[in-house]
Amino acid sequence: MTAASSNAPQRAYWLKKLHEWHWISSAICLIGMLLFAVTGFTLNHAGQIESNPKVLTREARLPADLLEKLQQAQKLNGQSAIKNEVALPADVDGWLAQQIKVSAKGFAVEWSEDEAYVPLPRPGGDAWLRVDLKDGAVEYETTDRGWISYLNDLHKGRNSGAAWSLFIDIFALGCVVFCITGLLILKMHAQRRPMTWPMVGLGFVLPALLVVLLVH
């Protein structure tokens, strides 16, 4: 019995395992890979893709009792060792959710002597909320830059929250598994496919040359 034939069962076992990990990781990463590939293109051509931002504004006025609670929260912030740690009172946030359909829960409040300002960043646009601490005037503005901008921001993980950030980490790990198992499968088939390593080398050399010669 030759050494090659004695190693055949072991080789077949590892090849089967590599194929299993390869297809599982590719299935998990499929939709994410399509998303990141498409948005890689749209980001690369962001200057040529026009968007028409839509701006929506809403106004209201806090009742006197809620304005008083907001003023008390501003005083608490002034006494706090960590500035802008005090959130909007729950009653105020509930009223805002009913009146202008926006909640500032979970967002940091930027307190000043005259106003409570809440940045409300989100993928594909922006928003902010301002409440005057003297007369209770409420202003809310949101900007929607369209679904392409939304997907681009998901690609970058911009203002997309902890859950999406975790997904990106898991997706990146899945892509690493997909690439490494693919490389090992190529290695195991390389003897019967002489163009394997030249093509792998081209995939490395081409971007390296572009970076060295053309990227400044």
Cα separation, 122 vs 145, whole angstroms: 11
Residue 127: what residue type? A
Cα separation, 41 vs 45, whole angstroms: 6
Residue 28 has pLDDT above 70, yes or no: yes
- % pLDDT > 90, the chain: 71
Mean pLDDT of 82-88: 85
Residue 3 has pLDDT above 70, yes or no: no
- pLDDT score, position 6: 61
Mean pLDDT of 1-11: 67
Cα separation, 89 vs 70, whole angstroms: 7
Count Cα atoms within 13 angstroms, Cβ side, for 195: 2
Mean pLDDT of 88-101: 94
Mean pLDDT of 88-110: 93
* Mean pLDDT of the chain, nearest integer: 91
Q: What is the residue extent of each domain of the chain? A: 3-49+160-205, 54-145
SS (H, E, C) 44-55: HCCCCCCCCCEE
Cα separation, 89 vs 105, whole angstroms: 9
How many whole angstroms from its chain centre is CA 61? 34
Model confidence, pTM: 0.81
H or E, element range at 141: strand 137-144
User: In terms of DSSP bridges, do strands 110-111 and 137-144 run parallel, antiparallel, or are they unpaired?
Assistant: unpaired
- pLDDT score, position 2: 56
Mean pLDDT of 137-159: 95
- Per-residue pLDDT of 116-133, as tens digits, reads 999 999 999 999 999 999
For residue 81, the SS3 value is: coil
- Higher-pLDDT residue of 10, 169: 169
CA dihedral 173, 175, 180, 181 (to 10 degrees): 110
Residue 66 has pLDDT above 80, yes or no: yes
- pLDDT score, position 4: 55
Cα separation, 15 vs 181, whole angstroms: 10
For residue 164, the SS3 value is: helix
